[in-house]
Copies of this chain bind each other. A is one copy, B any other.
Amino acid sequence: MSRENATSIDVARRAGVSQSAVSRVFTPGASASRQTVEKVRKAANELGYRPNSLARAMVSGKSRIIGLVVAYLQNQFYPEALEKLSNELQERGYHVLVFLAARTVGNVDDVLDEILDYQVDGIIAASVALSSDLSNRCRIAGVPTVMFNRSQDDLAISAVTSDNYAGGRKVAEFLIAGGHERIAFMAGWEGASTQRDREAGFRDGLQDAGVPLFARGVGNFEFDQARNATRQMFSGDRDTWPEALFVANDHMAFAVMDTLRAELGLNIPDDVSIVGYDDVPAAAWPSYDLTTVRQRTNQMIRATVDILLSEIENEGAAPCQVRIDGPLVLRGSALTAKGK
């Protein structure tokens, strides 16, 4: 019983007007007399007519589709961002075509081609590093692109991040103020700008206070790898263990805390202070109660969408780099100056 869709021609015939009149009635900025509008609307309703977005896209050159490249959704930060991005864009009349990319270089390349094939109006690369080669391709294709939660040296591509450097610095200052001496760092994936900037800020903060970095592990932003790195970091004599640890994101911080408590019987924060980065929902759950640097997701999303749409809608818009500062949220996983 699958009846075919009605076209604007069917509606025109039924309403006794021209096909272009129908088009005008369904085109926001167009002009049509009250009479025509009524006749057309009526006929359209009777036939269940709705304009075909694809045909519209072809002729207008605007698909109202945004390609979203995203790498992996394990980290709670991304589903949240995806949800908000999609909502924000939906409200503005755009839709999101999702492309999942493995964290390998070649893959992002293929995916980018597929995206461009769909004539997307813009691209958001969330947590994916774009090589300068790729960003060139986007520019050549004339497709505005914004990187979300990643940045790069090429200033020709817009990027929105939190102020990762400042965040890392805040953590260093906080831990030092808390009276800690053996302070360590657990790194994420080294290819990520977030990782690099957080670590740079953290290290500079320590250095300014004359405190050396006591230990360093690498968890690659993965839960299991963070567990292993933790085991390694806490494997020797007890006096080789750090007493405070900045973990490059919350997702890994949960792994660290679980490992420390379940396997070594340590108390957090009495034996070890832990600080994360992101402030994902679970950071506020009582089991973790994690002190962490908040990413202001709403503001970051808003900025991303604003920039992208302005680049789409006015040709001339210059690319820009936005860094949004976020506060250190104090919870129970790290000793404070007073607490000590």
Which residues of chain A have a CB within 8 Å of any CB of chain B? 1-5, 48, 50-55, 57-58, 63, 65, 68, 72-74, 76, 78-80, 82-83, 86-87, 90, 95-100, 113-114, 116-119, 139-142, 223, 254-255, 257-259, 261-263, 281-282, 285-288
- Per CB-CB distance, the 3 closest pairs between chain A and chain B, nearest first, are A2-B142, A262-B286, A73-B79
**A95, B118: Cβ atoms under 8 Å?**
yes
Contacts of A255 in B (CB 8 A): 285
**Considering the chains assembled together, what is the distance between the CA atoms of A87 and B102 in angstroms?**
10
Contacts of A118 in B (CB 8 A): 53-54, 95
**B86, A98: Cβ atoms under 8 Å?**
yes
Since A1-B139, A73-B80 are in contact, a sample of 16 more A-B pairs with Cβ atoms closer than 8 Å, ordered by chain A residue number, is A4-B142, A50-B113, A52-B58, A52-B119, A54-B54, A54-B57, A54-B63, A68-B98, A73-B79, A76-B76, A83-B100, A86-B98, A95-B97, A261-B286, A261-B287, A287-B287
**Considering the chains assembled together, what is the distance between the CA atoms of A100 and B89 in angstroms?**
11
- CB nearest to A64 among chain B residues: B118
Asked whether A281 and B83 contact (CB < 8 A) given A113-B50, A119-B53, the answer is no
**B73, A257: Cβ atoms under 8 Å?**
no
**Considering the chains assembled together, what is the distance between the CA atoms of A2 and B2 in angstroms?**
43
**B281, A258: Cβ atoms under 8 Å?**
no
Contacts of A282 in B (CB 8 A): 282
Contacts of A63 in B (CB 8 A): 54
Sample 20 A-B pairs with CB under 8 A, ordered by A number: A2-B139, A2-B140, A3-B142, A48-B140, A51-B117, A52-B117, A52-B119, A54-B63, A55-B58, A58-B58, A73-B83, A74-B281, A79-B79, A90-B99, A95-B97, A223-B281, A254-B287, A255-B285, A257-B287, A258-B285
The quantity of this chain's copies bound in the complex is 2
Contacts of A97 in B (CB 8 A): 65, 95-98
Contacts of A281 in B (CB 8 A): 74, 223
Asked whether A95 and B76 contact (CB < 8 A) given A3-B140, A63-B54, A287-B287, the answer is no
- CB nearest to A262 among chain B residues: B286
**A1, B140: Cβ atoms under 8 Å?**
yes
Contacts of A141 in B (CB 8 A): 2, 5
- CB nearest to A260 among chain B residues: B286
How near does chain B come to A210, taking the closest CB pair, in angstroms?
Answer: 36
Contacts of A52 in B (CB 8 A): 58, 117, 119
How near does chain B come to A57, taking the closest CB pair, in angstroms?
Answer: 5
Asked whether A100 and B87 contact (CB < 8 A) given A139-B1, A261-B286, A262-B286, the answer is yes
How near does chain B come to A231, taking the closest CB pair, in angstroms?
Answer: 13
**B286, A259: Cβ atoms under 8 Å?**
yes
**Considering the chains assembled together, what is the distance between the CA atoms of A134 and B21 in angstroms?**
30
Asked whether A117 and B2 contact (CB < 8 A) given A73-B83, A97-B95, A262-B286, the answer is no
**B95, A96: Cβ atoms under 8 Å?**
no
**A83, B72: Cβ atoms under 8 Å?**
yes
**A254, B285: Cβ atoms under 8 Å?**
yes
**Considering the chains assembled together, what is the distance between the CA atoms of A149 and B196 in angstroms?**
40
**B87, A119: Cβ atoms under 8 Å?**
no
- CB nearest to A65 among chain B residues: B97
